[in-house]
Structure 1
Amino acid sequence: MTTAVLPTQAEMMRAADEAVGAAREPAADMADLAEAIRALFKVEARRDARVHLGGSLFDVVVTSSGLEAQSAAVVMDEVQGGCGPVIEDPENGWLYWLVPPGSSERWTWHGHAVCLGAPHTIRLPSLNRRVPPGPYWFRPPASDRLVPVEPLRDTLARFRPMPTPHNPLAARGITT
């Protein structure tokens, strides 16, 4: 009578790993997703966080933060039933309108705004920051709503926020 030798737990795991093959490797975009989730947890935990633009989160449209841009936000409030998220950066005098991911790839030149996506980053203020100092939520995020690009383009063309961000961004080496 022969006795069967059962494989050890380590041998079974190695065989399972070999059987699974490439499927066991993490997806290429999982590191990006994990980074985004960590950043969003920081923001929710009342801490600032730097996130990469593009990917599956959002791109940003940069405008001045003057009266014309603030008037554009009021119009976007009407268009959307409450404007999507907008960050004010008082140090630079800019508004960052969070728009759907991929918007920067379709963006055509605009005289009063620049759209940025990958490989750029943005610092998201903590969710409770609603006033300066530093960047704060001019229009805080509401659920999964972002600012729609086409109505924003039209509204910015109508109000013409000045000064435009083109030259200051280019001076920092930020190009689209």
Structure 2
Amino acid sequence: MTSEKLPDWVPASGIQLRLSGIHFDAIRVRGVRGEAVLHHLVEATVGRPGPVVREIAGGRWTYFLIPPGSSKEYTWPPGATCFGPSARDQYIGIPAPHGSTYPLEWRGGPPVAGEFVDPELLHEVVTAQLCVSPDA
């Protein structure tokens, strides 16, 4: 484990639900589109995209955690679900940094305190990925 301090909203073990809009906002993208967004973020940030939670079963959702309140500054395209301050009672599953957290996992490792995905960069990448015509 890294010597840097984990945010207080990351549980010590297992998985805990956290209310969106409090500690972070989240943008959710499904399946291979979420993986494509993550791939481009990793390239653009030289391997440090910020906190990203991946569901490894079911819908295979990818959750990009951005600073609290920042999601309302953008219009997110269809296919990207926003969990932020305007969302009511929406919880996001947050895995511990290590141990059994199935079906959730951190992509790129757990976050350090104060670290988030850059919302402007995320918006650019999500818009590019989700607004591409399938015939292009």
TM-score bracket for the superposition, by shorter chain length = 0.7 to 0.9
The aligned counterpart of 2:78 is 111
**CA–CA separation in structure 2 for the residues paired with 1:111 and 1:129:** 34
1:146 to 89, 98, 116: 116
Structure 2 CA distance for partners of 1:97 and 1:109, relative to 1, 3 Å: closer
Larger Rg: 1
How much does 1:63 deviate?
Answer: 0.4
The percentage of counterpart residues that share the same residue type is: 24
Structure 2 CA distance for partners of 1:129 and 1:74, relative to 1, 3 Å: farther
State yes or no: 1:86 paired with 2:86: no
RMSD (CA atoms): 2.4
Secondary structure at the aligned position of 1:139 is classed as coil
**CA–CA separation in structure 2 for the residues paired with 1:58 and 1:152:** 14
How much does 1:96 deviate?
Answer: 0.7
State yes or no: 1:137 paired with 2:102: no
How much does 1:51 deviate?
Answer: 1.2
Secondary structure at the aligned position of 1:49 is classed as strand
The aligned counterpart of 1:97 is 64
Secondary structure at the aligned position of 2:107 is classed as strand
Count of aligned pairs: 119
Q: Contact 1:49 / 1:123 at 8 angstroms: preserved in 2?
A: yes
**How do 1:24-173 and structure 2 match up within 5 A?**
37=8, 39-40=9-10, 43=11, 45-55=12-22, 57-66=23-32, 68-81=33-46, 82-89=48-55, 90-118=57-85, 119-128=89-98, 133-143=102-112, 144-160=114-130
The aligned counterpart of 2:134 is none
Unpaired segments of 5 or more residues in structure 2?
1-6, 132-136
Secondary structure at the aligned position of 1:159 is classed as helix
How much does 1:110 deviate?
Answer: 1.1
Please state which structure has a larger fraction of its residues in helix: 1
Unpaired segments of 5 or more residues in structure 1?
1-35, 162-176
How much does 1:150 deviate?
Answer: 1.4
Q: Contact 1:107 / 1:115 at 8 angstroms: preserved in 2?
A: no
Please state which structure has a larger fraction of its residues in strand: 2
Q: Which has the higher contact order (CA 8 A, sep 6+)?
A: 2
